[in-house]
Every structure is written in structure tokens, then in C-alpha cells.
Structure 1
């Protein structure tokens, strides 16, 4: 990307912008609306517990995609869209306020902010709208024919290398300079995304990402449950300058932002 492009900041969703799994909150809302069986909900609950304890893996992520795609078969798109309020009710209390504050500080500095997630495009776009972000990139889980999901997996599945590819495509369309951009994630599965930007930041990293962050001397942010305490580790003595907003957020930790951030605390 040309050096005269503008920077952007890309935030993963699960365990980065929010605690736990957005897919489970979707499943909870779908079960409440009668669109998901109790058996499916229990399976999603177990997957969410393992995700919270261990983080994501390639196998578990693709299995979750398959299960969601199959569960959508025969469901009207309209009925899924109507779950929005209930899904938000589960997601919003789990948002890390400090990460949201980092995103807003980016915007205040003229940096565009995007959610980039393996979760559905519908959820990603809805959250981006609620948070007044600049956009979102998410997955398509099922083909749609005549307003009904077929249950056949669709593309894109924004995971791993595909997440990096989606960002590169967005950067080409929107004139974003990736060398001056930021990316935030908790998982080693997002190493391709983190490596295409100039300022990668590991947030609550899993063990593999923590190892990579140490080796590559990236900035690391760690939160206690729901962001009650913020810690930061930097891989370089000069990372406060090179890492930009992520480090600056440490100094801003005790300041409370009006509006949505204050409501989430």
C-alpha cells in the first residue's frame, strides 16, 4: 500500500473487543427465539467454555462454522435479523471498555477503526454501527436462496489467512496504508493479520500468540475479567512511541469516557 494512504486500526472481536464468544451469544438468542435446539445450545455453551479457557484453534473454529451453517438451514434471513436486540443484550455487557476506549482514541487521532472477525457479517456490522466505528468485516456462514438460508457454507470465512486477505482487499479499496496501521487480537490464528500491519498489538494473548509477541517484540495488553484492571507489556523500550495508541491507553486507564464507554463499566 502506498505510503500516502491513511492508517486504520483493525480489532478482532472475540476475546479482544469482548470477553468470550459472540457465537454463543448468537446461539443463546436463537434458542430463545425457537431457532436453535437445546442440544445445539448445550454444544455451543461447551464450545464457549473451552474458548474462554483455551482460546480458538483451527479445528474448533471450522467446526463452529460448520455447526452454525447447518443450524441455519431453512431459517429465514428476516428471522435472524430480528435477533439483533437479544444478541446485543448478550454482547454489550461483555465488551472490554478499555479496548473500546483505545478504538475511540484512534478515531480521535484520525485513524479509521474496523471490526474484523470470523463472526457473522451481520453481527460485525451491527456492532460497528452501535460503536460508531468506520466499518466491519465478517463471515458469511450460509448461502441464501429466496430469503432463506440453505445451510451450505458460504464465503468468506474471515479466519486466519483469510482475515489478512480481507484487510488487504479493504486497504486497496479504501486507500489504507497498512504499514502505518494497527491490529489487535488475542489469538495466534490472527498472526497473518498482525504481521501485515506496522503496529501489531496482542490483547489477552493465548500462549502461542504470547510467545510470538515476545519473539517479535510486539506490544501486549492484558486485562482481568471484563477489563477491571489493565496491564501492559512492551517488547521494545521505544514501543510507547512505535506502538502508539495501545501504550497511551495505559496512561488513560483511570480516565472515564462519557457515553457508551461509561455505560459499559
Structure 2
């Protein structure tokens, strides 16, 4: 029987938050109003860390920022973002962890609350084919409208998306001998609680406390590298 290995992205496979850094990048290159966006982005980030974030409100804020640009302009910005911000944050420890599961022929997926536009190229750079992410809505010309399609991939939404993705393949989580999920955040406790092998990875204090109380293993992935 095959195993399944699921990975959060931000602060788990990456030592940074790609969503937050994307906003900071747009401010830095002068693409958006630094004061207005930066202040709002920081507020949302603090809410996320505290576990009080309204995911739909945040995603439509983030996607609304993207909607003001053409798709070609966004693609150009993202290529620069990958080069300047993401590539330096792709560390050997993340590739080594993924390789362990790849060599075991596990089914591997990244499941992230960050939207697909930001994260698809990152998943590709990490060598992960399957990505479950918040889905932006596009118009007929392929431009982002600023709206979210479906439910967010955060908190219990990750469980919803995982079950739907597996069902498309005629599978369910219980079909796998072992199921792993690596995450840094207490926001992911709903999904961590239903896999056979939850691993609190670079955990924040709230997740660390929960992991210790429940006997879950912890992993400091970047302790020697960042």
C-alpha cells in the first residue's frame, strides 16, 4: 500500500511566508502603494499568526491586489519574485525531506492557504507536482478578477480540499497505510489531527504546545541552515 505525505508551504518547506513576502515584494518594487497595502498586509499577517484571520477577507484582499495588473505583468513580477525572494529560501533541508518521501514512492502534495498564483511556481521549484491552494477566479481573458473560487484552503478547509482531491482519484485518506502532514501552525490542527503521522515542523508556540500535549513529533527543519 502506498503512503501519502502532505506538506504545508510557508514556514514549513520554506523558512518564510511566501504570501506575506509577495506583498512586501510588490511594495518594494513600487507596484503598489506601500503605506496602504503594507499596513493592511501586516494586520492580516498578525491575525494569521494569532489564529484570528478571516481567510476569505484576506484572500480577496490579496487577490484584489493582483487584479489591478494584467496577467503578463503579474507573470513578469512573479519571475522576479522567484529570483530575488523564493530561490534563496529554497534550502537543502526541504529538498532532503521531500526526497525521503519521493524515494518511498509516496503520494506527495503541498496544501497551502496561500493562493495558487503565488504558490504554483514555488511547488514546481520544489519538484512537487500536486498543489492544493486557494483558487483565484479568472475572467475569460485569463486575468484575475480579485475573487476567490470555492472555499479557502485554510484550517478545516484543508481537510475539505484534501478529501475532494483524493475523491477525484477514487481514493480516501484511509486507503493509505501511512499519512503524513508537516506543518508549522496551529491553524492546521484540523488536518494534523486526521493523519496517522502528524509532524509539527518548525512549529510556532501554539502548535508546539499542542504537539507536546498530544505526543506528536516535532521537526526543526532549518535549524542548521537558516
Same fold (TM over 0.5): yes
2:63 aligned with 1:69: yes
- CA 1:207–1:59 in structure 2 vs 1: closer, same or farther (change >3 Å)? same
The 1-side partners of 2:32 and 2:137 are apart by 15
**Matching residue within 13, 26, 29 for 1:30:** 26
**Matching residue within 124, 132, 140 for 1:129:** 124
Per the normalisation by structure 2, the TM-score is: 0.83
Equivalence for 1:93: 88
2:189 aligned with 1:191: yes
- CA 1:56–1:184 in structure 2 vs 1: closer, same or farther (change >3 Å)? farther
**Matching residue within 203, 206, 209 for 1:208:** 206
The 2-side partners of 1:80 and 1:161 are apart by 30
Indicate conservation of the 8 Å contact 1:72/1:142, yes or no. Answer: no
Give the alignment of 1:14-25 within 5 angstroms: 14-25=10-21
The 1-side partners of 2:142 and 2:53 are apart by 30
**Matching residue within 2, 9, 19 for 2:5:** 9
The 2-side partners of 1:44 and 1:104 are apart by 37
- Name the SS of the counterpart of 1:200 in structure 2: strand
- Which is higher, the Rg of structure 1 or of structure 2? 1
Q: Mark the runs of 5 or more structure 1 residues left unpaired by the alignment.
A: 231-264
The 2-side partners of 1:36 and 1:114 are apart by 32
Indicate conservation of the 8 Å contact 2:59/2:115, yes or no. Answer: no
Aligned residues, how many?
222
The alignment's C-alpha RMSD in Å is: 2.8
Quick one: higher RCO (CA 8 Å, sep 6+), 1 or 2?
Answer: 2
- CA 1:59–1:155 in structure 2 vs 1: closer, same or farther (change >3 Å)? same
Which 4+ runs in 1 deviate beyond 4 A? 47-51, 60-63
Equivalence for 1:119: 114
Q: Mark the runs of 5 or more structure 2 residues left unpaired by the alignment.
A: none
Per the normalisation by structure 1, the TM-score is: 0.72
